Amino acid sequence: MIRIRGLNKRYGDFDALTGIDLDVAPGEFLVVLGPSGAGKSTLLRCINRLAEPTSGEIHIDGQLAQSGGASLRGLRRQVAMIFQHYNVVPRLSVQKNVLTGRMGAVPSVLSWLQIFPRKDVAIALECLRRVELQDKAGLRTDTLSGGQKQRVGIARALAQQPKVILADEPVASLDPKTSRTVLNYLKQASRELGITVVCNLHQIDYAREFGERIVGVSGGRIVYDGGPEGLTDEVLKRIYPGLDEGDARSRSAPAVAAAAAPALSQLKLEEASA
């Protein structure tokens, strides 16, 4: 579904990505793991052309991804994006936020007037059902919790009916319980609808738990490509330079859960509303 060859991205004298070669299969749930500043977000932005690569080629479903004109519009219809900070419109209803995912499929005049055909409304409601927010459809989005807003973001991406979803740190600002809820919805949709998902994470335990395949990125280069079982301490030290064995163990799922327990007890009310 995604084929990347020789991808490089430079900002001035800084090489954000260097020599990226990557293939992602149809329907695959791929986690890109790495620290902040590793190049994960730049990779996603190059795939959907929010950032123009310095060199290299990206193919989506066999088509060369290019900037400009009809080619870019076609790319954006096939590739949906989920952002770290939700990117919802607070004053709009939940349903209308999800319907923005249908804008590429309706005439421009209707989308400007926020008028959508019944079939698109039905699609939006079905996507809300998938993330268990159908009962919130008529509410203003700014009344929702952070976890609920991110679920609106997932529903909006699904409403686009894309072939690929790019999720850029979708749980970075959420508590552990809500993070797993959001990632579960995203992975379930990938499995049931056959959507290819590339999900950026910096949490090792979530990568192990949800990634069918993990690509480790450090310093703008791929330093690991394999299954979650291959994330040994040595591999983690390549992904996170300076990480010692104790740090690696402390980032395992059981240890993270234990460390998070006090915080979770303080967040019960917020988690219950997510």
83-123 pLDDT tens trace: 988 889 999 999 999 999 998 766 665 665 667 789 999 99
Question: Does the pLDDT at position 268 exceed 50?
Answer: no
Q: What is the mean pLDDT of the chain?
A: 87
Alpha helices in 12-93 (DSSP H): 40-47, 69-78
Predicted TM-score (pTM) of this structure: 0.84
Q: Residue 274: helix, strand or coil by DSSP?
A: coil
Mean pLDDT for 147-153 is 96
Alpha helices in 81-140 (DSSP H): 94-99, 108-112, 118-130
Look at residue 258 in the predicted model and tell me its pLDDT.
36
Bridge-based pairing of strands 164-168 and 79-82 is: parallel
17-27 pLDDT tens trace: 999 999 999 99
Residue 176 near residue 184, CB atoms below 8 Å:
no
What are the structural domains, with CATH classification, of the chain?
2-273 (3.40.50.300)
203-228 pLDDT tens trace: 999 999 999 999 999 999 999 999 99
